[in-house]
Amino acid sequence: MTENISGAVSLKVLAERKADGVQKTTRFQVDPRIIEIEPGFNGRPIDQEHVESIKASIKTGAELDALVVRVEDGRIILVDGHHRLTGILQLIAEGVEILRIDARQFRGNDAERIAHMLTSAQGKPLTPLEQGLQYRKLIGFGWTNQEVASKVGKSANYVSQMLTLAESNSDVQGMVTRKEVAAHVALEVVKKHGSGAGKILAGHLETARSAGKTKVTKKTVTPTEQPTPRPIYGDLLDTQRLDYLIDQKAVVFHGGKTVSGESKRGFWLLWPNIDETQPGVFENSRAAIDVAMQSQVEKEKAR
């Protein structure tokens, strides 16, 4: 240890005397009302419940971590601490006198700001979908999957999967955001059905709701995601049914469905590629396929 530390009464004094293990960092006091929020930058939508918990902490005298800001052409722009700043501004609007708050300056480019947000331990954690959307921004800056993975402390495979989720259609992302399906379940369906995943998941959600559930789970998906059973050997009609499903790229669905305002359970067909659902509900899969096959024959005769 440095000898010249006797009588020191603060970290500032120790830093000024160059004591071993003590270093001064630069922080500033900033009026929170002049800090700007960059539209579209924050990967975490504001959660008012989380904001309320921060406000409660401030009222009890808790000391918050400094906000992270950048300075551009005289403007002070927030980099990290969106929930903290929101809570502080709400308290000011409610009459609490907060004149200045701690802030420290971030130095780095746009990609580094996103990487900082992804790795910050102070903010509300990002959901898998929110992570994937931010990973996409870094990929757009020329980063590789491996570079992103190394920066955020994840595996390259994890980054790849979150990118797949981030590149799924908006109907899938909407269901994930509304917590109607878990991200890992949605990801599996996207891998299997691509652009048709949203329609598949919507069907599963209807089945789940008919059973009194509020979301699609792995258990909801698994029964209808099993491979189509092989036909009984020698049964020509079953072979024809299987050939029809393969040719039409159709899926047999089993579960609850609303028909003419009435909730029913049974089987029906779904064509994900053309976004079409078979009308009605049938007592077994063969009946559903037979009706669809007959409908096709009638359409061809009418041409």
Task: Please give the chain's pLDDT, 303 residues, in tens.
Answer: 445 566 666 677 777 777 777 777 767 899 999 999 988 887 777 889 889 999 998 888 888 888 989 898 889 999 888 999 999 999 999 999 999 999 988 888 888 888 888 877 566 778 889 899 989 989 988 999 999 999 888 899 999 999 999 999 999 999 999 999 999 999 999 998 888 999 999 998 988 888 888 888 888 776 544 455 554 444 667 788 888 898 888 999 888 888 777 888 899 899 888 878 898 899 899 899 999 998 888 877 776
pLDDT at 110: 85
What is the value of pTM for the model shown?
A: 0.55
pLDDT at 31: 93
Please state whether beta strands 251-259 and 35-36 pair in parallel, antiparallel, or not at all (unpaired): unpaired
pLDDT at 254: 86
User: Measuring CA to CA, which residue among 107, 169, 173, 112 is closest to residue 142?
Assistant: 112
pLDDT at 139: 92
pLDDT at 59: 87
Side-chain half-sphere CA neighbours of 60 within 13 A:
7
SS (H, E, C) the chain: CCCCCCCCCCHHHHHHCCCCCCCCCCCEEECHHHEECCCCCCCCCCCHHHHHHHHHHHHCCCCCCCEEEEEECCEEEEEECHHHHHHHHHHHHCCCCCCCEEEEECCCCHHHHHHHHHHCCCCCCCCHHHHHHHHHHHHHCCCCHHHHHHHHCCCHHHHHHHHHHHCCCHHHHHHHHCCCECHHHHHHHHHHHHHHHHHHHHHHHHHHHHCCCCCECHHHHHHHHCCCCCCCCCCHHHHHHHHHHHHHCCEEEEEEEEECCEEEEEEEEEEHHHCEECCCCECCHHHHHHHHHHHHHHHHHHC
Side-chain half-sphere CA neighbours of 172 within 13 A:
24
pLDDT at 15: 72
